[in-house]
Structure 1
């Protein structure tokens, strides 16, 4: 192993790690360790991993081997001076190196490009270098700090549907699939709500976004997306606009669904749901089918013009889709209607749905309200059951399963139905005994926040909006909840406000964030990465 005292001085240590099918790095903070994992290489073979400040490629290895296929994606500016790492792969075909990133402030936000390959002993000509990896982009950061991604999202959108997934099958989230969305304000009849049908993807490997080929047949926002077992993506319902004019703009709530095939870059309709649904909840079932429940069906014409069309029009029915037969059937009902509810899959595979906009019927009249009900769906029995209540009635909040299996719940909108406003309270739900416990309040109220669980089991709460549901005022605040210490602390402010965007914890431990409403009241395409402490 060779090192040099250049701008990027690195001390390398050997350590086991895991990954699949490519080069991945774990850790990007100045003055902290980082692990490089080169996988899917030949067992017990010498490998090399090289860093560079250049992503323009190099023919240095071609000049050594004479093989035109040995062109690098990265430069050899650092490797030529000795900053390169050799390692014999283990029996599983994994070569892992741990290094120390220098604590140099001048390196903050600098991109380092990495690539690995096999360099078998005795190889020559076309067998001198083999099995080149992807190029991995590491953007140097410090702990508890936001930084810009290598590119912004290709579309400015709020209320888009998104899902993090693994492109390698190893369970680590290294991609984010997103589609649709619209402006920030959903229920203002004086503002046209123009939805889009675009599809895009974020790649952790290089920190960039790609606008994917094909657009949805129906542009939509406030919809759901799930990844099917065969790797395709299914979108469900939502609302579409703009329709109307003047001070009477509205959107149409959809019952159409579509499937995106990444192999062909095309969208195709599925069978329609029985009900029109926007702001519903959906998940993939263990048997490959898809369940959707709740949502708003809008007014009698299935339109959504103002908040009155959202209140009192939620559903308690569920429907289940079979991709093999392209058919929908009704599933079990929840105990109450819900739209804009929060949902997570618990560690035991059950599906928790909490809160939402609901209503009760009195003398034939629908009286809208916010819900504190917790309903759990059991796939093995195909049934919903009540499982306790939250301390606060809320909708349009966020929640995430913590490392200990409990569920952290934050923010949302609630209060008196005649005086609707965002909330700042948090609570934790214990699925073992169906109980909730109040936790510390956020320093700001926040509807449409994001909540993700970090790799250490703590929770990260991101942005949201204060103001009102008709006139949200996005914030740039973030917080961390530590379940072991039962503490809520302020984290680094975002460079701009985000409410209703996409947020995912990635395989390398960073948090990806893009889109949503921002400071000027419009949707944003800004994409950021957060490195925890």
Structure 2
């Protein structure tokens, strides 16, 4: 091989070596670029994926519970008119609270009912200690509130029950002065209110429960410094009220839960003798009351939630009370379960679709409104804290919407005075 040939080969070798090194450098730079992009994109994707702000699934709808709270003998709220008459379930996949549209009127000690069309009907309540007869509807599809026709009477500490035909029965409560005996009906299709039969007794701080046969059972309550042990039944077919058997104990600020066998469990409350730990059962077939096992703790202003397994979870019951317990309808006995993380009264409770219970707001021992929330795990029977609401709330309502989100409305709040509605 001659000299020129060797030089040509050497040149080609050098060029190939240079090109190979250059290609290697570009490969290295490409790998580095991929690693950098992956380091940024993957964590961001994980964060966005974990940040859920909507729920897309609902399994069933049963009932929501809201606590009653007391402030004075005349300014108190019965929690559970909606909570005792209905049970709500929600899918707990949304873990954050998000503000939604505000009601036209700030209010507390009101009722909130999820209608068959999915809208939420809010009635009455107090606004700056002034009784209201105003009514509003929340539309989940637009996330907005709209006024609808007002009730005939101003009322708070009243009850609202959804009848089998979808019409809403509002009964009793306190108006400008005394507790009232009147009842009225709201038709969601026409948005018109009509008067119906008066109860036999004026009542505030009572409970109202829709029975399997469509009748509505109203129990206890308070008027003219007298606690009632009486109960009466509303017949939607006639619009009339008839007395039924009396409870063993007079009580107000109590809770009423509809059990799976159709009986009504009444728990706790208060009368002139003080707070009560007693419980009793109403049998719609015999129209009579029987006592059942007493709770371990006397309770007033508590919540009572029917769980998917048929047991009833009773939570708290005064500002110093962390305690929770379970009622077994089969044995008629109560068993203690893990205590809450934070004591509270005047809170709200909603049963989620997986059987867990969301408890929100209330007041703690310092008598200040709180915005904390916690969840009771049905399987482990333990409590854990979840996200705080944006606003401190007391005497509010908690409703489960058709898409599984939980809507919280109204509040007594001495810090910000008013609270927007929120979704969980």
Deviation at 1:403, TM superposition (A): 2.1
Structure 1 residue 282 corresponds to structure 2 residue 176: no
1:249-290 deviations in Å (ceiling 9; x for gaps): xx3111111111223322222222121100101112222222
Structure 1 residue 161 corresponds to structure 2 residue 161: no
1:421-458 deviations in Å (ceiling 9; x for gaps): 54221111111111112222223321111111111111
Structure 1 residue 401 corresponds to structure 2 residue 306: yes
Partner of 2:243: 330
User: Which of 225, 230, 239 does residue 317 from structure 1 map onto?
Assistant: 230
Q: How many Å separate the matches in 2 of 1:146 and 1:110? A: 8
Correspondence 1:63-462 to 2 at 5 A: 103=46, 105=48, 143-149=94-100, 151-167=101-117, 174-183=118-127, 193-212=129-148, 214-241=149-176, 251-299=177-225, 313-359=226-272, 368-413=273-318, 421-462=319-360
Give yes or no for contact 2:53–2:95 (8 Å, CA) kept in 1: no
Deviation at 1:467, TM superposition (A): 4.5
Partner of 1:516: 411
Deviation at 1:521, TM superposition (A): 7.1
CA shift in 2, pair 1:104/1:372, >3 Å: same
Q: How many Å separate the matches in 1 of 2:419 and 2:195? A: 27
Q: How many Å separate the matches in 2 of 1:505 and 1:271? A: 30
Structure 2: stretches of 5+ with no match in the other structure? 1-41, 56-91
Deviation at 1:519, TM superposition (A): 4.8
1:188-220 deviations in Å (ceiling 9; x for gaps): xxxxx31100112223333322221x2111110
Deviation at 1:235, TM superposition (A): 0.6
- Normalized per residue, the structure richer in strand is 1
Q: How many Å separate the matches in 1 of 2:112 and 2:191? A: 17
Give yes or no for contact 1:473–1:521 (8 Å, CA) kept in 2: no
Deviation at 1:337, TM superposition (A): 0.5
Q: How many Å separate the matches in 1 of 2:361 and 2:53? A: 26
Q: How many Å separate the matches in 2 of 1:453 and 1:288? A: 23
Partner of 1:41: none
- CA RMSD, 1 decimal: 2.6
SS at match of 1:340: coil
Structure of higher CA gyration radius: 2
CA shift in 2, pair 1:380/1:142, >3 Å: closer
1:52-85 deviations in Å (ceiling 9; x for gaps): xxxxxxxxxxxxxxxxxxxxxxxxxxxxxxxxxx
Q: How many Å separate the matches in 2 of 1:221 and 1:461? A: 22
Give yes or no for contact 1:194–1:240 (8 Å, CA) kept in 2: no
SS at match of 2:112: strand
Structure 1 residue 526 corresponds to structure 2 residue 420: yes
Q: How many Å separate the matches in 1 of 2:146 and 2:292? A: 41
SS at match of 1:423: coil
User: Which of 367, 379, 383 does residue 488 from structure 1 map onto?
Assistant: 383
Give yes or no for contact 2:108–2:410 (8 Å, CA) kept in 1: yes
User: Which of 393, 399, 403 does residue 498 from structure 1 map onto?
Assistant: 393
What TM-score do the two structures reach when normalised by structure 2? 0.76
SS at match of 1:385: strand
Give yes or no for contact 1:154–1:525 (8 Å, CA) kept in 2: no
CA shift in 2, pair 1:441/1:404, >3 Å: same
CA shift in 2, pair 1:442/1:521, >3 Å: farther
* Greater length-normalized contact order (CA 8 Å, ≥ 6 residues apart): 2
Deviation at 1:105, TM superposition (A): 3.8
Give yes or no for contact 1:157–1:183 (8 Å, CA) kept in 2: yes
What TM-score do the two structures reach when normalised by structure 1? 0.61
1:472-525 deviations in Å (ceiling 9; x for gaps): 421111111112112111111111111111102233332111112125274x34
Q: How many Å separate the matches in 2 of 1:407 and 1:466? A: 23
Deviation at 1:225, TM superposition (A): 0.5
CA shift in 2, pair 1:147/1:322, >3 Å: same
